[in-house]
Amino acid sequence: MKIAVLSDIHGNLEAFTSVLDDLASTAPDRVVCLGDAIGYGPDPEEVVRILSRKGIPTLLGNHELAAIRPEYLDWFNPSARCSLERTLELLSPEVLDVLRTWPSVLEVEGALCVHGCPPDSITRYLFEVAAEEFPKLFGSYPHRLCFVGHTHALRWISWDGATLEKGPFGRRPLKLQAHRRYILNVGSVGQPRDGDNRAKYVLWDTESDTVRVRCVPYDIAATAEKILALGFPRINADRLW
């Protein structure tokens, strides 16, 4: 079985539709989104509506959390908060109701899915976990694989009960070792921060026990122009490049 795992679309409709086109060619059996469908980008309403229309299970990200629970706005830095406040002006009551239905965790084919950090954190970044904390972290949930987003960076961390290994995803599929457990950061569709401006998602093949990255070009200029026209902070457009 092939499972597509994507995250952090961030209102980037051009990136999302290009990824959907790529999914048509890779033909996964299931698709799941790890949250932050909104925020930073110019088309949050349409992105959420497409996710709903296609029946793609989607997690609650930190941007959705703040959209439905305004007390979390103070968690954001000033630029991100400004972006989210502008995003809220673009969302209909119907879409806000959709966000309220999104869960904080999902299980897909025996793998745990969470936006930020296992076992269930929406807001904690994986890079905030010190090396000595990982044995306890892996002990906090039973799943062999955990897929996360949030940092927009493509990274993996593994643990065999004694040694910790970590690294970036490469051009070749990552072969998962049967005796190790993994936390797999799937990067970002709408605002990648790994030095490659193409939209990213991963394909998990349960039969070959591999995870590979898909890099999808899209019309960055169109998204950037809409971001500026709608009054979002310029950094949201500049960092797409």
Distances (CA, A) of 78 to 11, 70, 97: 19, 15, 26
> What's the structural domain count of the chain?
1
Give the type of residue at 234: R
pLDDT at 171: 86
Question: What does the pLDDT look like over 193-208, one tens digit per residue?
Answer: 999 999 999 999 999 9
Q: What is the mean pLDDT of residues 23-38?
A: 98
pLDDT at 74: 87
Q: What is the mean pLDDT of residues 213-239?
A: 97
C-alpha 40 chain-centroid distance: 14
How many residues would you count in the chain? 241
Q: Is 184 helix (H, G, I), strand (E, B) or coil?
A: strand
pLDDT at 149: 98
Quote the mean pLDDT of the chain: 97
Contact between 87 and 39 (Cβ < 8 Å): yes
Q: What is the mean pLDDT of residues 162-173?
A: 94
Measure the CA–CA gap between 53 and 50, rounded to whole angstroms: 5
Question: What does the pLDDT look like over 41-74, one tens digit per residue?
Answer: 999 999 999 999 999 999 999 999 999 998 998 8
* Strand segments (E) across 94-173: 105-108, 111-114, 145-148, 154-159, 164-168
CA angle 176–166–132, rounded 5-degree value? 120
User: Of 188, 227, 43, nearest to 236 (Cα)?
Assistant: 227
Is the pTM higher than 0.75? The answer reads yes
In this model, does residue 217 exceed pLDDT 90?
A: yes
Which CATH number covers residue 158? 3.60.21.10
Q: Which two tokens stand for residue 95?
A: 């879409």
Domain that residue 231 falls in: 2-238
Residue 173: asked if its preceding bond is cis (omega within 30°), the reply is no
